[in-house]
Structure 1
Amino acid sequence: MKGIILAGGSGTRLYPITHAISKQLLPIYDKPMIYYPLSILMLAKIRDVLIISNPEYVDLYKNLFGNGNHLGMNIEYKIQEKPKGLADAFIVGEEFIKDEPVSLILGDNVFYGVGFRLILEEASKLKDGALIFGYYVNNPRDFGVVEFDDKGKVLSLEEKPENPKSHYAIPGLYFYDNTVVEKAKSLKPSKRGELEITDLNKEYLKEGKLKVSLLGRGYAWLDTGTYDGLANATDFVKTIQKRTGLYVSCIEEIAYRNKWIDKEQLIKLGKKYEKTDYGKYILRIADELEEK
C-alpha cells in the first residue's frame, strides 16, 4: 500500500501565521505538524509516501524530507495548483499510486492511542473496498458524520448535517483499494467547486464496500486547523512526552523500530539534532535498544 499526505490549502483559518508559510510546517510542540501524519503512515508500515502541496511550498517539504532515504522510505512530491477538494489527491497522485491500494491522511490531523499501530497495520492490508474511521465528538454538525449498524456496516454519510444521525465524525484518515482513482475522476464538483471526499466515500457505500473502524475513548484525534486546535495539540503532545518520557511521532524512532534503518543510521540522525531534547531522545533510544 502507498500513502498520500495532503498538505495543501491556504490555511486561512490560521491567518496571519500561515500567510507566508504552509500550515503543515507550523510546529506542534517540538516538531513540524507534518511529522504527525507521516508517522501514522509509517506505523501502518507504508514506506512509499507522496506529499501533495501548493507550488510555493513544495520545495520546503523537499528540503525537510528529501527523498526519504534517510528513513528507509521513498518520499515523492506533487503540486496541487489550487484547492480542488480532498478527492483530487487521487487524481494528482495517479502516477504515484499506479496499481496499488492507497491511504490518504490530511496534513493537519493528529492521532494518538495505545495499540493504534495494530489497527493501522490491519487497515494497510486492505485490497478491496474502503475503510474509514469514526470518532465520537460532541459537535458532529461541524464534521462529516457516519451512521453505521452494530456490525460496522456503513448506513449513511453526511457532510456537516443539521440533524446528525450519529455522534461519530470521520477523521482525515482513509484507506482505499485501487479503484479510488477512477472513482475520483468520475466525481462532479460540489457547490464549492471541489471534489468532496464524502462523495467519494458514497461511491464505495453504493457498492457495499465501505467499512468503518471506531476509535474509542483511548484514542485522541486532534484537528489543528484553528488557533485553539493548534494550541491544544501542542499542550497534548507536551503533556504526553513530559509525563512518560516517550515521544509522540518521532519518525526516526519509528523507522528504526520498523527495521527500515539500522542503529548506526539512527545514531547519525540523532546527532544531527543532538543540541535539542528531540535529538537527545533519539540517542537515548539507541542506547536503550542496545542494552536490551
Structure 2
Amino acid sequence: MKGIILAGGHGTRLHPITLGGSKQLLPIYDKPMVYYPLSVLMLAGVREVLIISAPADLPQFRRLLGDGRRLGMRFSYAEQPEPRGLAEAFLIGAEHIGSDPVALALGDNVFHGPGFSELLRSRLPHTEGCLLFGYPVPDPQRYGIGEVDDAGRLLSIEEKPDRPKSNRAITGLYFYDNEVVEIARGLRPSERGELEITDVNREYLARGRASLVDLGRGFAWLDTGTHDSLLEAAQYIRTIEHRQGVRIACVEEVALRMGYIDAEQCRRLGAALGASGYGRYVMEVAEAVRAAGPAAPPGLTGAGTGTGRRGIVPAPG
C-alpha cells in the first residue's frame, strides 16, 4: 500500500501564523504537525509516502523529512499549486500510487487511542473498496456524516446535514483500493470548484464497496485547523505525554518498533537531535530496546508509542 499526506492549502483560518509557511509544519506541542499523520501511515505498515504541498512549502518539508531512509521509509514530494479539493491528491499522486491501494491522511488531523495500530493492521488486509473512520461528535451538522448498518457497511453519506442520520463524523483518514484513481479522474468539480472526497466516497457507496469503522469511546480525534483547536491539541498531547511518560507520534520510535530501523540507528537519530527532551527520549527508547534484546515485543498499543501504553496517531485532525 502507498501513502499520501495532503499538506496543502493556505491555512487561512490560522492567519497570521501561517503567512510564513505551511500549517502542517507548525508544532503541536513538541513536534511538527506532519509527524502525526506520518506516524499513522507508518503504523499501518505503509513505507512509501508522497507528501503533497504548495510549491513554496515543499523545500521545508524536504529539509524536515528528507528522503525517508533514516526512518527506513521512502518519501517523495509533489506540488499542489492551489487547493482544488482533497480528491485531487489521487490525480497528483497517480504515478506514485501505480497499481497499489492507497492511504490518504490529512496533514492536520490527530488520532489518539489504545490499540489503534492493531486496528489498522487487522482491518487493512481485509479491506475492499474504501475504508473510512467515523468518530462521534456532538454537533454532526458541521461535518460529513456517515450512516452504517450493524455490519459496518456504509449506508449513506451526508455533508453537513440539517437532520443528520447519525453522529459519526468522517475523519481525515481514508483507505482505498486502486480504483480510486479512476474514480477521481471521472469527478467533476463541485460548485466551489473542487474535487470532493465525499464524491469519491459516494461512488464507492454506490458500488456497495464502502465501510466505516466507528472509533467510538476511548479515542480522541483532533482537528487542528483553528487557533483554539491548535492550542487544545498541544495541551492534550502535553497532558498525555507527561502523565504516561511517552512521546506521541514519535516517528523514530515507531520506525524502531515496526522494525524499519534497529536500535543503533534509532539511538543515532536521537543523538542528532541535540539536547532536546525529544532527542533524549529517542535515545532512551533505543537503549531500552537494545537492553531487552531481539526478542523484545513491539509494544505498540496505540499510535506512536512503544511502551505498551496509549499513544497517538494522527488525523487528520
TM-score, normalisation: structure 2 = 0.91
Greater relative contact order (Cα 8 A, min sep 6): structure 1 or 2?
A: 2
- Residue 148 of structure 2 is matched in structure 1 by 148
| Equivalent in the alignment of 1:7 | 7
Aligned to 1:132: 132
Alignment of 1:236-251 (within 5 A): 236-251=236-251
Q: Distance in 2 between the 1:131 and 1:243 partners?
A: 33
1:71 aligns with 2:105: no
Q: Deviation digits for residues 155-177 of structure 1, max 9, x if unmatched?
A: 11011111111100000000000
The C-alpha deviation readout for 1:111-140, integer Å capped at 9, x for no partner, is 111100011113432563110011000011
Q: Secondary structure at the match of 2:163?
A: coil
Q: Give the letter for the 1:239 counterpart.
A: T
Shift of 1:281: 0.4
Q: Which moved more, 1:115-124 or 1:70-79?
A: 115-124
Residue 167 (str. 1) matches residue 152 (str. 2): no
Q: Which residue of 2 aligns with 1:221?
A: 221
What TM-score do the two structures reach when normalised by structure 1?
A: 0.98
Match of 1:187 in 2: 187
Q: Tell me what 1:41 maps to.
A: 41
**2:192 maps to amino acid:** R
CA shift digits 1:77-124 (9 cap, x unpaired):
000111110000000000000000000010000011110001111343
For residues 21-52 of structure 1, what are the alpha-carbon distances to aligned partners after superposition, in whole Å with 9 as ceiling and x for unaligned?
10000000000000000000001010000000
Distance 1:145 1:127, change over 3 A: closer
One-letter amino acid matched to 1:93: G
What is aligned with 2:60?
60
- The corresponding residue for 1:121 is 121
Say how many residue pairs are matched: 292
Residues in 2 aligned to 1:288 and 1:67: alpha-carbon distance in whole angstroms: 27
- In 1: Cα distance, 2:167 partner to 2:104 partner: 23
CA, structure 1 residues 123+93, in 2 after alignment: closer, same or farther (shift >3 Å)? farther
Task: Give, in whole Å, the separation in 1 of the partners of 2:288 and 2:264.
Answer: 14
Query: Following the alignment from structure 2 to structure 1, what is the Cα–Cα distance between the partners of residues 260 and 142?
Result: 39
Provide the rounded CA distance (Å) in 1 between the counterparts of 2:255 and 2:153: 34
- 1:142 CA displacement: 1.0
Q: Residue type of the partner of 1:65?
A: L
Q: Distance in 1 between matches of 2:232 and 2:20?
A: 23
Query: Compared with structure 1, are the counterparts of its residues 9 and 161 closer, same or farther at alpha carbon in structure 2 (3 Å cutoff)?
Result: same
**Conserved 8 A contact 1:101-1:126:** no
Q: Contact 2:263 / 2:287 at 8 angstroms: preserved in 1? A: no
Relative to structure 1, the CA distance from residue 250 to residue 16 in structure 2 (aligned partners, 3 Å threshold; closer, same or farther) is: same
- Whether contact under 8 Å (2:147, 2:166) holds in the other structure is yes
CA RMSD of the aligned region, Å? 0.9
1: CA distance between counterparts of 2:71 and 2:290?
A: 19
Q: Which runs of 4+ in 1 moved over 6 A?
A: none
> Structure 1: how far apart are the matches of 2:59 and 2:125?
32
Cα separation, 2, equivalents of 1:23 and 1:283: 28
Q: Name whichever of 113-122 and 91-100 sits farther off.
A: 113-122
